[in-house]
Amino acid sequence: MGEPYYITTAISYPNGKPHIGHAYEAIAADVIARFQRALGRDVRFQTGTDEHGLKMAQKARETGVSPRELSDEMSSYFIKMCDDLDISYDVFIRTTEERHHASVQELWRRMEAKGDLYLDRYEGWYSIRDEAYYDESELAADEGGEKLSPQGTPVEWTVEESWFFRLSKYAEPLLALYNENPQFIQPDGRRNEVMRFVEGGLRDLSVSRTSFDWGVKVPGSDGHVMYVWVDALANYLTGLGFPDESGDFARYWPANLHLIGKDIVRFHTVYWPAFLMSADIALPDQVFGHGFLLNRGQKESKSLGNVTDPLELAERFGVDPLRYFLMREVAFGQDGSYSPEAIVTRCNAELANSYGNLVQRVLSMIFKNMDGTLETFSSTDDDDVLLAAVFSACRDELPREFEALNFSAGIDAWMKGVFACNAYVDEQAPWSLRKTDPDRMKAVLLTLFMAIRDLTIAIAPVVPASAHKVLDQIGIPADQRDFAALTDADWYMARVATGEKLGAPSPAFPRLEMPEDTGTA
Ligand code: ME8
């Protein structure tokens, strides 16, 4: 078994249906998981839903169902999204599961045993309607000077009993962590923000609530439920069987990568490592805060009427084109914009016209002009140069960039390999060699066949279904599709030896239709 590699996404709030941001994060994590598997690692990939807390309780009340009913229904949409988008998760965790309660309570007990939890009073501006505290700085005032929450609801100064976590004690250890492990928070811009924040000093954190009960009970403290972030973050441990520290936990913890969005970096890089330090649990290697996806440059919101259902996009354009677009278009870590036109333009130019067309042309010519037969051939320098270029794009550049989570740059390197093949087809013009030099035609087509196999294996983590369709068509066995297969010098001879002919190819990357009405999302 390969080296263990544990990757997680954030667990989503199922207080609405999944949006494009959820799809983006799941797809990026899936590309990483598939890529790491292709490198031979023993991957554990976890995603799930974050079902407790005020947001869920409020939403349930609004819709007239119990929080339990709401979370059962809504989490099923997130599971469906993952399944529809070909997300190869190993564990889908729900924080309402019994085992999760047991896991969070054990984390709590350990922090308490450390002396890091104490009971005190929480004071602040509280909105009963919102069931939330606000900072003085967030408040507005009505015409009569009465204070209002950002939601426009009345607030009153409230004092509540709450458990506190001694976060202040961890400022120095956290700064040491960031300084000694620059990879812990990525990208660098986010790391700098977090460092500035912690350097400013940390206040102890209120970690229990008495104003509602939809959460994990604080052990031995009636009436208190845990602050939802303590509960949510612990999911990464629960999914490995914690508090049982043998088995999966021993194998996969600490996580290699928590992949999350930029808005929740602080929770994952300040609170989470502090909780883990307190409980004497090893820290994850890296937290990566990806950027936000914007709809034509705008945040999606119900009031703007521009909320996109990612599954509708997948249905309209195909799962793989959507996955390709998202990984290709946006420099990972930065914000990015999408629109149906951008998806069509990008996927048609690169997937359909450059790569798909190459595959289709070459396989059709092998089928028609060579009866689909693969055979040995003698190559020229031109063939060798092409293969070396494709090999280096697929074996060196793409993996190097993907390992660093630079997906767009990795795909760019891959596209250079595709362009090299297209330039080679045009120069060699195998169609005109058919009569004049059939041996050379064969050598050209078979060289391209070899290049296509490499290019397809390399891009498979991004477009898994289409890539496997091509690899099926060209008869590459399922266990010879990882990155190690790219360096197997004998694969082609082994393939020839099977004697299996190629059939008529069917296109794996059809052209997409440009939307007629370009005015709306
Ligand atoms: O934050 N573009 O859940 P969530 C890209 N339950 N990513 C986006 C996005 C967008 N427009 N909008 C949101 C939570 N995200 C917590 C997490 S983890 C222990 C608890 C990302 O449903 C967001 O940054 O609001 C987060 O990583 C994920 O989607 C889930 O967001």
Q: If pLDDT is split at 50, 70 and 90, which confidence band does 520 have?
A: very low
What is the rounded CA–CA span in Å between residue 35 and residue 402?
A: 8
Distance from the CA of 23 to the center of ligand 1, in angstroms? Answer: 10
Residues 6 or more apart in contact with residue 324 via CB below 8 angstroms: 346, 347, 350, 351, 411, 462, 463
What is the rounded CA–CA span in Å between residue 164 and residue 253?
A: 27
Is 93's C-beta closer than 6 angstroms to any atom of ligand 1? Answer: no
Q: Which atom of ligand 1 is nearest to the CA of 260?
A: 27
Mean of pLDDT values over 459-488: 97
* Type of residue numbered 363: L
User: What mean pLDDT, rounded, does the chain reach?
Assistant: 95
Has residue 493 got a pLDDT over 70?
yes
Is 29's C-beta closer than 6 angstroms to any atom of ligand 1? Answer: no
Distance from the CA of 19 to the center of ligand 1, in angstroms? Answer: 10
Strands 140-141 and 208-209: unpaired
Ligand 1: residue whose CA is nearest its atom 24: 261
| Closest by Cα among 202, 262, 212, 258 to 233 | 258
**In this structure, what DSSP letter does residue 354 have?**
I
Is 260's C-beta closer than 6 angstroms to any atom of ligand 1? Answer: yes
Tell me the best of 11, 19, 22 to mutate to test the pocket of ligand 1, counting ligand atoms within 8 Å of each CB and taking the most.
22
Q: Give the range among 158-172, 199-213, 258-272, 293-307 with minimum mean pLDDT.
A: 293-307
Has residue 301 got a pLDDT over 80?
no
Q: If pLDDT is split at 50, 70 and 90, which confidence band does 207 have?
A: very high
Mean of pLDDT values over 145-154: 88
Q: Give the range among 56-60, 97-101, 102-106 with minimum mean pLDDT.
A: 56-60
Neighbours of 101 (CB within 10 A): 19
Contact 11, 57 (CB under 8 A): no
271-281 per-residue burial string, b: 16 or more CB within 10 A, e: under 16:
bbbbbbbbbeb
Contact 6, 302 (CB under 8 A): no
Has residue 269 got a pLDDT over 70?
yes
pLDDT tens-place string over residues 478-488: 999 999 999 99
Is 13's C-beta closer than 6 angstroms to any atom of ligand 1? Answer: yes
Strands in 257-261's sheet, in edge-to-edge order, are 91-94, 42-49, 4-12, 257-261, 287-290, 185-186
Has residue 521 got a pLDDT over 80?
no
Has residue 171 got a pLDDT over 60?
yes
Ligand 1: residue whose CA is nearest its atom 21: 261
Has residue 247 got a pLDDT over 50?
yes
Enumerate domains of the chain plus CATH numbers: 340-497 (1.10.730.10)
Is 298's C-beta closer than 6 angstroms to any atom of ligand 1? Answer: no
Amino acid 400: pLDDT: 98
Amino acid 322: pLDDT: 98
Strands 42-49 and 4-12: parallel
Distance from the CA of 122 to the center of ligand 1, in angstroms? Answer: 27
| Closest by Cα among 353, 346, 363, 352 to 466 | 352
Ligand 1: residue whose CA is nearest its atom 30: 12
What is the rounded CA–CA span in Å between residue 413 and residue 401?
A: 9
Is 16's C-beta closer than 6 angstroms to any atom of ligand 1? Answer: no
Ligand 1: residue whose CA is nearest its atom 8: 21
Q: If pLDDT is split at 50, 70 and 90, which confidence band does 519 have?
A: very low
Q: Which atom of ligand 1 is nearest to the CA of 15?
A: 22
Is 421's C-beta closer than 6 angstroms to any atom of ligand 1? Answer: no
Mean of pLDDT values over 410-437: 96
Structure tokens at 274: 């502090």
The angle at the Cα of 366, spanning 360 to 368, to the nearest 5 degrees, equals: 95
Is 148's C-beta closer than 6 angstroms to any atom of ligand 1? Answer: no
Mean of pLDDT values over 244-267: 97
pLDDT tens-place string over residues 124-140: 898 876 667 788 888 99
Has residue 82 got a pLDDT over 90?
yes
Q: Which atom of ligand 1 is nearest to the CA of 22?
A: 29
What is the rounded CA–CA span in Å between residue 397 and residue 401?
A: 6
Amino acid 203: pLDDT: 93
Residues 6 or more apart in contact with residue 195 via CB below 8 angstroms: 175, 178
Tell me the best of 292, 298, 300 to mutate to test the pocket of ligand 1, counting ligand atoms within 8 Å of each CB and taking the most.
292
Q: Give the range among 142-151, 239-248, 370-379, 405-414 with minimum mean pLDDT.
A: 142-151
Has residue 384 got a pLDDT over 50?
yes
Is 21's C-beta closer than 6 angstroms to any atom of ligand 1? Answer: yes
Amino acid 98: pLDDT: 97
Is 234's C-beta closer than 6 angstroms to any atom of ligand 1? Answer: no
Distance from the CA of 13 to the center of ligand 1, in angstroms? Answer: 8
* Type of residue numbered 492: Y
Is 116's C-beta closer than 6 angstroms to any atom of ligand 1? Answer: no
Say if pTM beats, i.e. exceeds, 0.75: yes
What is the rounded CA–CA span in Å between residue 390 and residue 417?
A: 5
Q: Which atom of ligand 1 is nearest to the CA of 263?
A: 24
pLDDT tens-place string over residues 175-194: 999 999 999 999 999 999 99
Residues 6 or more apart in contact with residue 408 via CB below 8 angstroms: 327, 328, 329, 330, 331, 332
Tell me the best of 11, 24, 230, 263 to mutate to test the pocket of ligand 1, counting ligand atoms within 8 Å of each CB and taking the most.
263
User: What are the backbone angles phi and psi of residue 81, rounded to the nearest 5°?
Assistant: -55, -45
Has residue 69 got a pLDDT over 50?
yes
Amino acid 443: pLDDT: 97
Has residue 208 got a pLDDT over 70?
yes
Is 261's C-beta closer than 6 angstroms to any atom of ligand 1? Answer: yes
Has residue 517 got a pLDDT over 80?
no
